[in-house]
Amino acid sequence: MTKNDKKQKSKVHDPTGLADGNLERARKERDSARHELKSLNYAMSIHSSQTCIELALKSVYRYFGKSFAFDHKLKADEFAQILNLIPDDLKFHNFPRLFVLSSFWSQFYSLSKYGHESLGVGPEKIFKREEAELALGHAGECYIAASGIRYWYHHLKK
């Protein structure tokens, strides 16, 4: 194994790179949710907002070097460990609220993507503009809070 191989391998396992990547993907999903809302694709907007919320909060786990279940719903016991690590000057983001928002929107992950199988209803018939706007607002809150953690991690962490 050459010196360059070792560098590439360590970069792949760099939690900061994963965190930054998750947050960048969250931003793209938020942008997609905004676009889909403007295009009147409410279910797709909600799905992108939910994905943004999930990725933004999972990036916070990664900035603190914590693991999480590869599931669309965050686990309360895992998130509780994160709360104690949030810097005091970033607690105004109200991370417990963000966890609740994440739990709420995770319930709609499959529904916004596939619809309701038992009822034979597609996702476009279930969701309205109001839900898409609410989801996008919540996605924005989660993204901004995670961006604050990113800034702290890269510039203020001691």
CATH of the domain at 33: 1.20.120.330
pTM: 0.87
Report yes or no on 84 lying in a domain: yes
Q: Are 36 and 29 in contact (CB under 8 A)?
A: no
**Mean pLDDT (whole number) for 110-126:** 95
High-pLDDT (> 70) share of the chain, %: 91
Residue span of the structural domain in which 149 resides? 15-156
Report yes or no on 7 lying in a domain: no
148 compared with 14, residue with greater pLDDT: 148
Q: Is the pLDDT of residue 131 over 60?
A: yes
Q: Are 20 and 43 in contact (CB under 8 A)?
A: no
Q: How confident is the model at residue 15 (pLDDT cuts 50, 70, 90)?
A: low
Please tell me the total count of domains within the chain: 1
Report yes or no on 133 lying in a domain: yes
Instruction: List Cα–Cα distances, 125 to 33, 35, 78, 112, 117, in angstroms.
Output: 17, 19, 35, 10, 12
According to the model, what pLDDT value does residue 1 have? 43
66 compared with 10, residue with greater pLDDT: 66
